[in-house]
Amino acid sequence: MTTDTLFKWHHFLPEIILLNVRWYCRYSLSYRDLEEMMQERGVAVDHSTLNRWVLKFAPELDKRIRSFLKPTNDSWRVDETYIEIRGEWKYLYRAVDSQGNTLDFMLSAKRDGKAAARFFRKVLGAKHTQSPRVITVDKNAAYPVAVDELKADKTLKAETELRQIKYLNNIIEQNHRNIKRIVKPMMGFQSFNTARRTLRGIEAMSMICKGQVKGISQAIILNVKNQM
């Protein structure tokens, strides 16, 4: 898909669209906050338009950076956090390596062995990850079930160690805070699909700001902050 095709029929410059998508997926802002910020810069754009931009381009941002992610190590930290959708709690599975680099993420309606196994398969299928030497999780009983299933079908190596030690997972629990900080002004999502698409942009911006994307330096990230 070319850039011209991607932005076809939009009445704003691609730079303005992507600026708003980046800000929304990185900072604690509502759509009305962004609408006001654009008005201060002489750009009249409705909050509903901003919503459509995020739902279309946030997943595209995640898709485009995938091929440029730097390799991660073989020590996984896995945990899930809660995301509110239409007044109900759903589960965002997340994994980082021992240095805090994002491995992958998955929004799930359920929190059980099948969901955990599906998430592990997704992480293993990512191009920037490698088969884990050790997986550190909390006391959730679903994780041993999932690991046993993956070892049985040889998706995971038999020697992969599963550690259920809560304090060793502090690194990912701290990492959850960034997601919660950004999601809070949104006051809950209205649909599972809306949540899934928006979270892809939030996680993509998180990986960019962690320095995981080849060719994007910290200076570029700081320049984005200075534009606000």
Q: Give me the DSSP letters along 145-197.
A: HHHHHHHHTTSS-TT-EEEE-GGGGHHHHHHHHHHHHHHGGGTSBSSHHHHHH
* Whole-number average pLDDT of the chain: 91
Residue 184 in any domain: the answer is no
pLDDT value of residue 15 = 92
pLDDT value of residue 157 = 94
| Same domain? 38 vs 54 | yes
| Same domain? 54 vs 86 | no
Q: Render pLDDT for 136-181 as a digit per residue (tens, 0 to 9).
A: 999 999 999 999 999 999 999 999 999 998 787 888 988 898 899 9
pLDDT value of residue 169 = 82
| Same domain? 88 vs 162 | yes
| Same domain? 10 vs 82 | no
Residue 56 in any domain: the answer is yes
| Same domain? 164 vs 212 | no
Residue 95 in any domain: the answer is yes
Task: Please tell me whether residue 136 adopts helix, strand or coil conformation.
Answer: strand
Q: What is the CATH number of the domain that holds 130?
A: 3.30.420.10
| Same domain? 104 vs 169 | yes
Q: If you search the block for the tokens 């700081």, which residue do you land on?
A: 222
| Same domain? 210 vs 175 | no
Q: Render pLDDT for 56-106 as a digit per residue (tens, 0 to 9).
A: 999 999 999 999 999 999 999 999 999 999 999 999 999 999 999 999 999
Say which range, 107-116, 184-193, 213-222, has the weakest mean pLDDT: 213-222
Task: Please tell me whether residue 5 adopts helix, strand or coil conformation.
Answer: helix
Asked if 85 and 144 count as a contact pair (C-beta separation under 8 A), the reply is no
pLDDT value of residue 97 = 96
Residue 29 in any domain: the answer is yes
| Same domain? 46 vs 108 | no
Q: Render pLDDT for 5-39 as a digit per residue (tens, 0 to 9).
A: 778 777 889 999 999 999 999 999 999 999 999 99
- Which residues touch 225 (CB under 8 Å, ≥6 apart)? none
| Same domain? 50 vs 83 | no
Residue 186 in any domain: the answer is no
What's the rounded Cα separation, in Å, for the pair 205 and 209? 6
Residue 110 in any domain: the answer is yes
| Same domain? 133 vs 55 | no
| Same domain? 54 vs 90 | no
> How many structural domains is the chain composed of?
2
Rg from Cα positions in the chain = 18
> Residue 2 above 70 pLDDT?
no
What's the rounded Cα separation, in Å, for the pair 191 and 193? 5
Provide mean pLDDT across the span 113-131. Answer: 96
Residue 88 in any domain: the answer is yes
- Helix 47-65 vs helix 14-26: crossing angle, to nearest 10: 80
Residue 185 in any domain: the answer is no
pLDDT value of residue 1 = 45
> Residue 219 above 70 pLDDT?
no
| Same domain? 44 vs 126 | no
In terms of residue numbers, what domain contains 15? Answer: 3-68+191-226
> Residue 112 above 50 pLDDT?
yes
